[in-house]
Amino acid sequence: MSQTLSLYRLQQIDSHIERAQARLAIIAQELENDQQLRLAGQAAQDAETAHQSAGRALRKAEADVEAQRIKIEQIEASLYGGAVRHPKELQDLQNDAAALKRHLTTLEDRLLEAMLAAETAEASSQAASGNAQAQREHRMTQDQGLRQEQETLQREIERLKTEHGAVVGNIPQEAISLYDKLRQERRGVAVSAVSDSSCGACGSTLTMAQIQAARSGGEVAFCPSCGRILYAS
């Protein structure tokens, strides 16, 4: 294997490692990011709190209506029971009964509103709870897939590092130093493959002599524009 081919192979290995490591970083972030799940859980909790509050309001409205009906029954018992005979007292009882019945109508309206509110709150709570459960199940499936991908990438990186060591062992140290220097200066790409008579990295057109020099592999050839090592198959 020529020195240029070895450097090109080393570039491929390093690029694969970098992409795998970048993907691992993204996976780690996705595994840690549970914002959507927390939001769904909070929404379910808030909806259940509202449901419980509506339930309390409904029970109070029911108790108010029941209490008002008892008052009316007591007034009517006094009114029609025969114990009260004085006209003025009877008139007062009739007025009290009428007032209680008018207020009962108001309380019954409030009870109806409370019933509707409780039904709406219950439906909202059930929907929010169902969404939270769906989010949990989705998260479990997603995390399982991400962890499997994570393990695969970690094994791939280990394999590539082993291959990296084997390739480096066949390249002179001065060439490795040049390669490392160019990778730092050229955004991680030290070796560029020739493509359609051009540098694959910067796109500059190459002469036939430059392409032939890159193809021969006897000595390292450089792109006259970006300074990267050229490789031509």
Domains of the chain as residue ranges with CATH: 34-168 (1.10.287.1700), 173-231 (no CATH)
Residue identified by tokens 């066949």 is 170
Residue of higher predicted confidence among 89 and 110: 110
Backbone torsions φ then ψ of 108, nearest 5 degrees:
-70, -35
Q: In whole angstroms, give the CA distance from residue 144 to residue 147.
A: 5
Q: In what order do the strands lie in the sheet with 221-222?
A: 198-199, 191-195, 229-231, 221-222
Instruction: Collapse the DSSP code of 191 into the 3-class scheme (helix H, G, I; strand E, B; otherwise coil) and give the result.
Output: strand
pTM of the model: 0.72
Rg (CA), the chain: 41
The residue among 153, 160, 161, 159 whose CA lies nearest residue 31 is 153
| Chain segment 16-56, per-residue pLDDT in tens | 999 999 999 999 999 999 999 999 999 999 999 999 999 99
| Chain segment 95-115, per-residue pLDDT in tens | 999 999 999 999 999 999 999
